[in-house]
Amino acid sequence: MPDFLPLFPLRIVVYPGEELNLHIFEPRYKQLIRECDENGITFGIPTFLDDKVMNIGAELKLLSITKKYENGEMDIKTKGIGIFKMKEFYSTVNDKLYSGADIERLKIKEKGSAQLYDDIMKELDEFYTVISIEHTYPKDPDNFNVYDIAHHVGLSLDQEYELLKIQAEEDRQKFIINHLKKMIPVVKNVEAMKAKAKMNGHFKKLLPPNF
């Protein structure tokens, strides 16, 4: 039998293990968070994409309300604890202001491939070198999950959502490797164009070809 989950649709993708800070200001979500705080319940963030609520989302736990404002607005800390698939969506729930859904919790395979992990590290090192950004990420295979880097490798919202739908870590690893292999040449070309553009207007010493 499906479980019921109150929903907070947003134009973002949240992954299991991810900590997310939110400012709550809409009446429907102020009500939702108050009930999560009082009753110890979780809530879901399905991705709002292409002007519709997608059927896969992340289940979140309220960690704390860090600040309450006089008008009822709140700053909260949350954490993704799983992924769900909506079986039936309800735009309104009884006398509540927020939406909800009957959901099925999806099982996530967290163990990946050591070889694919090495491949990801190689591609990541090159990617961050090309874009001249220092970035730290877990370099221990046992403590690494693709979710850790998903927001930091240039994925579009559509691609982040596609990654969210993948339940096995090995498949997520392959997804990221394929993405990085496509991205790196593109970024290299952009960086080369930027370098070339900086040279425009400079005096150039060029050797003519010999005939």
At 135, the pLDDT band (50, 70, 90 cuts) reads: confident
Output the CA–CA distances (angstroms, integers) from residue 109 to 137, 138, 171, 173, 205, in the order listed: 20, 18, 10, 12, 58
Of 210 and 103, which is predicted with more confidence?
103
Of 204 and 141, which is predicted with more confidence?
141
At 131, the pLDDT band (50, 70, 90 cuts) reads: confident
Domains, the chain: 3-106 (2.30.130.40), 114-199 (no CATH)
> Is the pLDDT score of 18 beyond 80?
yes
User: Residue-wise over 78-92: b if at least 16 C-beta within 10 A, else e?
Assistant: bbbebbbbbeebbee
User: pLDDT value at position 2?
Assistant: 72
Structure tokens given for 28: 């429907």
Burial class (CB within 10 angstroms; exposed 0-12, middle 13-18, buried 19+) of 39: exposed
User: pLDDT value at position 166?
Assistant: 97
pLDDT digits (tens, 9 = 90+) for 21-44: 999 999 999 999 999 999 999 999
Say how far apart CA 14 and CA 56 lie, in whole Å. 11
Q: Quick one: average pLDDT of 175-198?
A: 84
pLDDT digits (tens, 9 = 90+) for 54-65: 999 999 999 999
Lowest model confidence (mean pLDDT) among 140-144, 161-165, 204-208: 204-208
